Amino acid sequence: MDTDALRELTFTDSKDQLRFITCGSVGDGKSTLIGRFLHDSKAIYEDQLQTLARDSVKHGTTGDAIDFALLVDGLEAEREQGITIDVAYRFFTTPRRSFMVADTPGHEQYTRNMATGASNAQLAVIVIDARKGVLVQTRRHSYICSLLGIRHVVVALNKMDLIDYRKEVFDRIVADYVKFASNLGFTSVAAIPISARHDDNIINRSRNTDWFHGPCLLDYLESIDIQSETAGLPFRFPVQWVNRPNMDFRGYAGTVVSGSIAVGDEIVVPASGRNSRVKQIVTYDGELVRAEAGDAVTITLADEIDIGRGDIIAKPTERPEVADQFAAHVIWMDQEDMVPGRSYGFRIGTQSSASGSITAMKYRIDVNTGAHVAARTLRLNEIGFCKIATALPATFDAYEANRRTGSFIVIDRDTNRTVGAGMIAFPLRRAANIARQPLSLGKKERTALKHQRPCIIWFTGLSGAGKSTIANLVDQKLFAMSYHTMLLDGDNLRHGPNRDLGLTESDRAENIRGAGEVAKLMVDSGLLVICSFISPYKAERDMVRDAVGDGEFIEVFVDTPIGECVRRDPKGLYAKAKSGMVKTFTGVDAPYEAPSVPEIHLTTLNQQPERLADTVLNCLAARGIIVPTNRTEN
Amino acid sequence: MSYGKLDHRNGDLPRGEHQMFRMHAQNITKPQTRTLPRRLRRLEAESIEIMREVVADFRKPVMLYSIGKDSSVMLHLAQKAFYPAKVPFSLLHVDTTWKFREMISFRDETAQRLGINLIVHVNRDGIERGINPIDSGSTLHTQVMKTDALKQALDLYGFDAAFGGARRDEEKSRAKERIFSFRSRGHVWDPCNQRPELWNLFNTRSRKGETMRVFAISNWTELDVWEYIMLEDIPVVPLYFAKKRWVVHRNGALIMVDDERLPLVSNETPELKMMRFRTLGCYPLSGAIESDAITIKDIVAEMQVATVSERQGRLIDTDEVASMEKKKREGYF
């Protein structure tokens, strides 16, 4: 096939788009390869080439020749620094197929970008320099592709011209690769000897490699069949949006991610266990009899059952997992380390506002060797295997079984940054086997007996701010008014159930998580629970807030300037922190994140604790939690 | 519809007929034998999924409607995404007051035909300052009448998500932009600090004052767009089709003399040329191409042998190196 043939497009093309990723390090010839595809398929126009030629003089590294890497490095910072930072998506079309290429940097510090590019790719082109053979980065790239679920790999052995197109070198490197990749779970591994620079076996078959009988790279990409990937899987329909234009129509809008469904089929919503039948499959272009993987449709059911965004519709015989604990591979993507125990936002399928936490780190994976390394946290670009617990049960499949229903992202609850991405390995049966014991008496009954509205009154602030003093007074006053209360104090809990915890960020998170769970049990028993904890991180306070009902978490910010706390220093801790005897002390060398909108904000400077306690009681009365009279007189 | 007509346009109806180009009458409930190639079906489904995500997770989304072919496709996709419900958001057109007259009439007729609320926003402050593409230059005009105007409108109506029709194949900084492109307060885009975007798991969260630009047709190419327009019978502005129009040669581009506001330099004489547009913007900044393509089939055929990119017709892109990235950082779409 000659270059001109690429220009003649036809509309008989019924093949799907192929989405692939190119892997390779600087110098392997990856950019030249992509540049050649784009150039020879006329995806680059003359004016873009002119710009490229201009940029090549300014930023390029190829002398007079056009530097294709500049085409790929789109951002100013990248061109200035001569490195690829981010994922770029490139498009080109041939008479037989259209392509979307995710071009990502190959360095270890950009593992997150490679994972991003791989997440939507069906195939990976792994570029290897024929002079160097299988290197550490080749292993890393292959491992990440495998982990992200890519099942088809083609090794492009580049720079064959520099080793005189020798068959034995090609055979040796391919044998090396196949041996190494045998446990990565690839369905197909192809290898092609190429020279990106001279177009050997890329667009055209090369005369220099008569010994090679396989297809050239473009032929291979045009003809590989990857259709069946989702078609044979069980039916999964994550509900995105409930379409209710009027009282007579209630449809569930979403995209069939795998399998197929027909009108009349029996379905189940695994989270609730409710069954029904498909009544209609509605589209703008008319009703369908059957919807298949990839179709965006709206489904109506024969019965009115409760379904919302985040539910998955499946067939009763092929159900996904439902669990609130699972094990997963996680890629950490943020500058700030992962904090096990901290409450994070999770997006699992269309469940976009789930919350949960990483309950245990099992190990970190050395991406270069695949070895498991002991670790307590993950840093930027690190991959690990961990246990995760979600606040509510999630519906999912193992990632290996279904990429679309087995993946999730982790979101920082304060900044909303995407901090991690994960692939579910399996549900933790611990959750399945320990069913919640149904109790005959609930919060409602227990509360009614005490004639009060239970809640958590959560004092937060620096050490020495006056939390415990005020909390104690509030407790005494409520007790005097005949309210049933309990006071949980940070120091006391650290002597008891949380005595194994230190002061690291993740131990602080676990301390608060534990305290929150205890406080929640007490709320369930109908008590007014007064808590006094430094609780420096917003994420953990919000986790406790989310654990109880609306209006049951009253955050009291005891706002005392650090200078005043140091002056008071009731426990002599600031002195110790300054002398280095106490490490990671909040306000000294560990952060305190002040609440942005606490229910009650107490400024303590020049105020008497007695008055501040009264302020708290007044606020509780205003919220209808207490009645401002003495209950014994009623 | 709630939009303010421009004073100087009142009574200034387009020359000739209202020419609405439609291959066939739009028939909402056409019996379906789906003929789309698999590739377009997949792109269509992907865009529909993105649109539904926005409507499910955002409080007040809006669709930026620029009247061009990409907007036409987006609007068509929106009708599909929410059927049988109506499109659950408004269209916003940021009017620089220098759009082609055929664009404006097409815009109004489209909104009316589909029964969609159309908001037209003009930067009044810019008008008062006399900003225009001819005297002020394209950079300042674009900054004030497009970028600033867009930010004004988003703030004024409190939209927390805005669909845009940008595609990744258009321009190299766009090739790196996310589908859900997060904007901090002040609508600023930080290209080096974008949220990673994996699978179809979009991070839709934002805090008060922060917004999202959502590019629902990111993965479409220019050819995909035209093929889809052809196969789905989507109406587009007639300026995309070749016709004899009055043009002048200016700075290597063919500029259409759309109204009397275009001052002609002494050596410029308008010529009647068979021409069309590949991309549409403010008329003094949009370069035409000589063409005989009078049907969509012709356009597609022409595109397949095109040797220059569509953005070459955009005079605003060539102002400075990395100019698109710079404009985008400042809040341009």
Could you give the CA distance from residue A526 to residue A528 in angstroms, rounded to a whole number? 7
Which of B59, B169, B176 would you mutate first to test chain A, the one with the most A CBs within 10 A?
A: B176
User: How many of the other CB atoms lie within 10 Å of CB of A337?
Assistant: 16
Could you give the CA distance from residue B206 to residue A532 in angstroms, rounded to a whole number? 31
Among A87-91, A404-408, A444-448, A627-631, name the one with the lowest average pLDDT: A627-631
- Distance (Å) from the C-alpha of residue A360 to the closest C-alpha of chain B? 24
Separation in Å, CA A137 to CA A61, A259, A332: 23, 36, 19
Concatenate the DSSP letters of all residues of A443-491 into one string: HHHHHHHHTS--EEEEEE--TTSSHHHHHHHHHHHHHHTT--EEEEEHH
Could you give the CA distance from residue A130 to residue A346 in angstroms, rounded to a whole number? 43
Q: What is the DSSP letter of A166?
A: -
User: Residues A313, A314, A320, CA angle at the centre, nearest 5°?
Assistant: 110
A299 at B interface, C-beta within 8 A: no
List, for residues A519-549, the tens digit of each pLDDT value. Answer: 999 999 999 999 999 999 888 898 888 888 8
Flag if B198 and A411 touch (Cβ within 8 Å). no
What's the mean pLDDT in B238-242? 96
What's the mean pLDDT in A602-625? 92
Could you give the CA distance from residue B196 to residue A432 in angstroms, rounded to a whole number? 32
Q: Of the candidates B43, B204, B306, which has its C-beta nearest A45's C-beta?
A: B306
Find the residue in A nearest to B320 (Cα). Answer: A51
What's the mean pLDDT in B125-145? 91
Q: Dihedral, CA atoms, A300, A305, A306, A308, nearest 10 degrees? A: -20
What's the mean pLDDT in A304-310? 92
Question: In the structure, what pLDDT confidence band is assigned to residue A45 with cuts at 50, 70 and 90?
Answer: low
* Strand pairing report for A528-532 and B2-3: unpaired
Q: Is the dihedral of CA A535, A537, A540, A541 positive or negative?
A: positive
Question: In the structure, what pLDDT confidence band is assigned to residue A631 with cuts at 50, 70 and 90?
Answer: low
The percentage of residues in chain A with a pLDDT greater than 90, rounded to a whole number, is 55
- Nearest residue to A489 (alpha-carbon basis) of A518, A509, A510: A518
pLDDT (0 to 100) of residue B14: 36
Question: In the structure, what pLDDT confidence band is assigned to residue A440 with cuts at 50, 70 and 90?
Answer: confident
Q: Of the candidates B32, B57, B194, which has its C-beta nearest A285's C-beta?
A: B32
Q: Is the pLDDT of residue B259 over 50?
A: yes
Is residue A396 within 8 Å of A404, Cβ to Cβ? no
Active site residues of A: 535
User: How many of the other CB atoms lie within 10 Å of CB of B307?
Assistant: 11
What's the mean pLDDT in A264-273? 93
Concatenate the DSSP letters of all residues of A376-415 into one string: SS--TT-EEEEEEEEEEEEEE--TTT-TTTSEEEEE-TTT
β-bridge mates for residue A275, sequence order: A268
Separation in Å, CA A425 to CA A337, A375, B47, B91, B243: 22, 19, 29, 43, 60
State the average pLDDT for chain A: 86
User: How many of the other CB atoms lie within 10 Å of CB of A433?
Assistant: 7
Q: Is the pLDDT of residue A297 over 90?
A: yes
A6 at B interface, C-beta within 8 A: no
Could you give the CA distance from residue A38 to residue B324 in angstroms, rounded to a whole number? 21
What's the mean pLDDT in A373-380? 92
Could you give the CA distance from residue B21 to residue B240 in angstroms, rounded to a whole number? 10
What's the mean pLDDT in A146-170? 95
Flag if B80 and A88 touch (Cβ within 8 Å). no
Helix axis angle, A505-524 to A538-547, nearest 10°:
20
3-state secondary structure of A59: helix
At A176, list the tokens: 């090396």
pLDDT (0 to 100) of residue A455: 94
Residue whose tokens read 């009282």: A247
- Nearest residue to A251 (alpha-carbon basis) of A293, A287, A315, A301: A301
Flag if B198 and A55 touch (Cβ within 8 Å). no
Separation in Å, CA B94 to CA A291, B8, B64, B105, B332: 39, 17, 8, 15, 11
Tally C-beta pairs within 8 A across A and B: 189
Is residue A114 within 8 Å of A143, Cβ to Cβ? no
Q: Is the dihedral of CA A308, A309, A311, A312 positive or negative?
A: positive
Burial of A12 (0-12, 13-18, 19+ CB in 10 A): exposed
- Nearest residue to B235 (alpha-carbon basis) of B124, B119, B102, B135: B102
β-bridge mates for residue A266, sequence order: A277
B-chain CB neighbours of A240 within 8 Å are 49, 52-53, 56
Could you give the CA distance from residue A154 to residue A520 in angstroms, rounded to a whole number? 54
Altogether, the residues listed in chain A come to a count of 634
Q: Is the pLDDT of residue A70 over 70?
A: no
At A60, list the tokens: 């390029």
β-bridge mates for residue B289, sequence order: B276
What's the mean pLDDT in B239-249? 94
Q: What is the DSSP letter of A246?
A: E
**C-alpha Rg value of chain B to the nearest Å:** 19
β-bridge mates for residue A345, sequence order: A355, A411
**C-alpha Rg value of chain A to the nearest Å:** 30
Flag if B168 and A91 touch (Cβ within 8 Å). yes
DSSP E strands in A316-369: the ranges are 321-332, 343-348, 351-365
pLDDT (0 to 100) of residue A591: 87
State ipTM. 0.85
3-state secondary structure of A506: helix
pLDDT (0 to 100) of residue B1: 38
Residue whose tokens read 């795998």: A258
Question: In the structure, what pLDDT confidence band is assigned to residue A126 with cuts at 50, 70 and 90?
Answer: very high
Question: In the structure, what pLDDT confidence band is assigned to residue A367 with cuts at 50, 70 and 90?
Answer: confident
Flag if B31 and A43 touch (Cβ within 8 Å). no
Could you give the CA distance from residue B286 to residue B199 in angstroms, rounded to a whole number? 37
Query: From its phi and psi, is residue A598 left (phi > 0), alpha (psi between -120 and 50) or beta?
Result: beta
Concatenate the DSSP letters of all residues of A261-296 into one string: EETT-EEEETTTTEEEEEEEEE-TT--BSEEETT-E
Flag if B306 and A251 touch (Cβ within 8 Å). no
Helix axis angle, B101-114 to B69-82, nearest 10°:
10
B-contacting residues in A 270-289 (Cβ below 8 Å): 282-286
Q: Which residues contact B158 (CB under 8 A, 6 or more apart)?
A: B60
Q: Dihedral, CA atoms, B228, B230, B235, B238, nearest 10 degrees? A: 120
User: Residues A138, A144, A150, CA angle at the centre, nearest 5°?
Assistant: 105
Could you give the CA distance from residue B182 to residue B179 in angstroms, rounded to a whole number? 9
What amino acid occupies position A21? I
